[in-house]
Chains A and B, each alone.
Chain A
Amino acid sequence: MGFLTRKKMMSIMALGAMIGLLLLPIAVSLPALTSGGVAFAEDGKEDGKKDEAKVEKGRDVYYKTEGIVVGAPAPVTTDGPKDYPRYNFESRVLLWFANQQHLYYGSFVLAVPIFCMVVEFMGVVTKDKALAKRYDQLAYDFIKISLTAYSLTAVLGGILIFTFLTLYPAFFGYLSSIFRPVMHIYALMFVAESGTLYIYYYGWDKMKEGFLKWIHLSMSVILNIIGTLLMFLANSWIGFMMSPAGVDEQGRFLGNIWHVLHTALWNPLNLHRILGNMAFGGGVVAAYAAYKFLASKTDEERAHYDWMGYIAMALGVAFLIPLPFAGYWLMREVYAYRQQMGITLMGGLLAWLFIIQATMIGILFLSTNYYLWQAMGRMRGAEKYQRYIKYLVFLLACGYLVFITPHTMVMTPAELKAMGGQQHPVLGNYGVMSAKNGGINVIITTTVLSFVWYMRGNKVSTVSWAKFGNIFMGCFFFFAYINIVGLAIYGYYIPANVRVGLSVPQVATTLSCLFFMFALNSIMMKGAKQTGAIEWGKISARSQYALIMLATAFTWMMGLMGYIRSSVRLFWHVNEIMRDNSPWAYTHTVGFAANMISFNVLFFWISILFVFWLGSLAAKKAPVEAKAAVPGSAPQPAASH
């Protein structure tokens, strides 16, 4: 008892010390943050009293507030070895590669601990002891995968910094002069993240029961808070490059670091990235599970990895569903910030990349639906839905085709003449936003419907109002489709300034289906009669390829969207503040960009396979006791979803 108390005390003290260490960098830098660069001003004071007399003021380019100039203007670069030293290769491509790989790994190691936290929490609150153990083992498997990737993320971060320093010294010097206080916080938080992660991982066995388990779980919360803050700080740099604030028109820092961080696009970027990271992380873990499933030799292994793949996919898709809406908000803010920037993205130079993006988004949702339909095969009783799947395929195909239809095509004069204009007389109507909003909302609503069917696949509701519930649910989905398509058609008959608002009720309709129908289904299925158990592991191999497809498509899309977001600055390092005068300040062709993205995707997957292989080496050395915890010869990882 005394030992336990001491253990508890030690745990609380360790947690307190960790929180204290976490807050330390913020507390240390608080004076600098609140005074808005007092450090800079004090440096100036040391030069003599005459500097005090020459206090220069500038106007914030975004907030339009006045502030004392405390920074140097953005350097005017020239093409040469001083500002753009280079190898005999395009520097931008090298930076692109380093940046993309760091982002892939960074996203992965930020997302996986969030999954870990969720799954570990599920394990802690689940009353079924065997299931709790399975959840705990799954969370441990997740963190084990991310641990090796974490080291690689740090290495890639180092490579990225060196690439910046050696190939773009003037630009990086300027950026680090603006973000000096937060860059230190970033570095210190990275140390805190590493420390917490290692304690979290290596303390797993020591803190597996009772109160200590809650302490362990709290550590995962702290770990994720640090990770998220790290990402927010990194996002502020790209937000500043796209939509600078806190500086005057010459790029001189005006002393308010919060303005520099809180740019017009910071919050939309934060939301978009956190959702994107989660969906990406889910995809990668699902692909890992799929690979392990396909390579499995025993039924036990197949059951475990089938379950793991399903959980990872479900968590990933839970964040994929709201992702297009977050993207829509980001684009809306881009338009609000600079209309020309929005037009360049979606109606100009980069518009074709958005068609590719639409294609990839469609593939993600098609893969998800296909996996769910295949997954229904492992539960007895779900056969009743099989004959209706063709209707879902029809809805998805219609939504997808509308979603990917371009507004205009590149054509020869003869083709143009044959078609009677730049736009096709029929298909051209689908190339506008009104139709595309309808298309994507139909796709997402259908995915929600597939999930609802999957969740009730092997169950029959026993609540007294089950008949009404089923009819109501059917009606709700039917009228949701009518509303989405109706609003899309209605958009053609009203002016653009009214039409643009229709996207909000369309999104609300889809989200209503997601939240209300999931909730209603859960209530109806409480205490439901099972028509058969879920036979984990008894799923087609095709479904696992769908998971791999999902992850690959997501990786490709992430690379594409990163390229689009970065390219929209055109010939600016920092939009309208610091011009890019290197020989590579032009936009690549779509073909080159696609090849480059594919190369990055290929490199990431080859390297992550190496990481998985390293992880499997550690698994082979795992104690027999851990393996023995798997109950039964043909285990059922979870009785329900």
Chain B
Amino acid sequence: MGQTIFYALVSVVICVAYFLAVDHFLMDAQGLDFWYMFRK
């Protein structure tokens, strides 16, 4: 059980980081700000 939770936590961290990176960098590459709403 402990191992499953550990695997799940590692997976969540990798996936969240990956998709946020995709969002941020691909918007940045278009000269747009992904965090627009949070900055305004």
CB within 8 Å of B: which residues of A?
467-468, 471-472, 474-476, 478-480, 482-483, 487, 490, 493-495, 497-498, 501-502, 504-505, 508-509, 512
Q: How far is the CA of A393 from the CA of B30 in the complex (A)?
A: 35
Task: Give A483 to B34 CA distance when docked, in angstroms.
Answer: 13
| A475, A497, A504 — most chain B CB neighbours (10 Å) | A475
Other-chain residue from A474, A482, A505, A509 in contact with B27 (beta carbon distance below 8 A): A505
Q: Which of A474, A478, A501 contacts B32 (CB 8 A)?
A: A501
**Contacts across chains A and B counted by CB atoms under 8 Å:** 64
Residue of B nearest to A507 (CB): B26
Q: Are A467 and B23 in contact (CB-based, < 8 A)? A: no
Please tell me the size bucket of the interface on B.
20 to 34
- Residues of chain A within 8 A (CB-CB) of B19 are 479-480, 482-483, 509
Q: How far is B30's CA from A468's CA once the two chains are assembled, in angstroms?
A: 35
Instruction: Say yes or no: A498 contacts B32, CB within 8 Å.
Output: yes
Q: Quote the shortest CB–CB distance from A469 to chain B (angstroms).
A: 9
CB within 8 Å of A: which residues of B? 3-4, 7-8, 10-12, 14-16, 18-19, 22-23, 26-27, 29-30, 32-34, 36-37
Smallest CB separation, A507 vs chain B (Å): 9
Q: Whole-angstrom distance from the CB of B28 to the nearest CB of chain A?
A: 10
Are B15 and A504 closer than 8 Å at their CB atoms? no
A508 with B14: CB separation less than 8 A: no
Q: Is the CB of A471 within 8 A of B26?
A: no
Choose among A495, A501, A504 the residue with the greatest number of B CB atoms under 10 Å from its CB: A501
How distant is the Cα of A474 from the Cα of B4 in the complex, in angstroms? 13
- Nearest 6 CB-CB pairs, A to B? A475-B11, A479-B15, A501-B32, A483-B19, A472-B11, A505-B26
A-B CB contact pairs (8 Å), 28 listed: A467-B3, A467-B4, A468-B7, A468-B10, A471-B4, A471-B8, A471-B11, A472-B11, A474-B11, A475-B11, A475-B12, A476-B15, A479-B12, A483-B19, A483-B23, A487-B23, A490-B37, A495-B36, A497-B32, A498-B32, A498-B36, A501-B27, A504-B26, A505-B23, A505-B27, A508-B22, A509-B19, A512-B22
Residue of A nearest to B21 (CB): A505
Question: A347 → chain B, closest Cβ, in Å?
Answer: 22
Q: In whole angstroms, how far apart are the Cα atoms of A512 and B19 in the complex?
A: 9
- CB–CB A471/B7 < 8 A: yes
- CA separation between A508 and B34, bound complex, in Å? 15
A484 to B: closest C-beta gap in Å = 9
Please report the C-alpha to C-alpha distance between residue A495 and residue B39 in the assembled complex, in whole angstroms.
13
Tell me which residues across on chain B come within 8 A of A498, comparing CB atoms. 27, 32-33, 36
Q: What is the chain A residue whose CB lies nearest that of B5?
A: A471
Give which listed residue, B4, B16, B27, B33, contacts A479 with CB less than 8 A: B16
Query: Is the pair A508, B26 in contact by a Cβ cutoff of 8 Å?
Result: yes
When distances are taken between beta carbons in the complex, the residues of chain A under 8 Å from B16 are 479
Q: Which residues of A contact B22 (CB under 8 A)?
A: 483, 505, 508-509, 512
> How far apart sit A494 and B10, CA to CA, in the bound complex (Å)?
32
**Cβ of A493: which chain B residues have Cβ within 8 Å of it?**
37
Asked if B27 and A502 sit within 8 Å, CB to CB, the answer is yes
Which of chain A's residues has its CB closest to B28's CB?
A: A501
Q: Which residues of A contact B10 (CB under 8 A)?
A: 468, 472
* B20: nearest chain-A partner, CB-CB: A483
Chain A residue at smallest Cβ distance from B12: A475
Q: Which residues of B contact A480 (CB under 8 A)?
A: 19
A191 to B33, CA, bound (A): 53
**Residue of A with least CB distance to B14:** A472
Give the docked Cα–Cα distance between A467 and B3 (Å). Answer: 9
Which residues of chain B have C-beta atoms less than 8 A from A474's C-beta?
11
Q: How far is the CB of A323 from chain B (nearest CB, A)?
A: 21
Bound CA–CA A504/B29 (angstroms): 10
B contact residues around A487 at 8 Å (CB): 23
Min CB gap B40→A, angstroms: 9
Q: For residue A81, give the distance in angstroms from its CB to the closest CB of chain B.
A: 53
B residues near A497, Cβ cutoff 8 Å: 32
Contacts of B3 in A (CB 8 A): 467
Contact B37 A494 (CB under 8 A): yes
Q: Smallest Cβ distance from A335 to chain B, in angstroms?
A: 15
Tell me which residues across on chain B come within 8 A of A504, comparing CB atoms: 26-27, 29-30
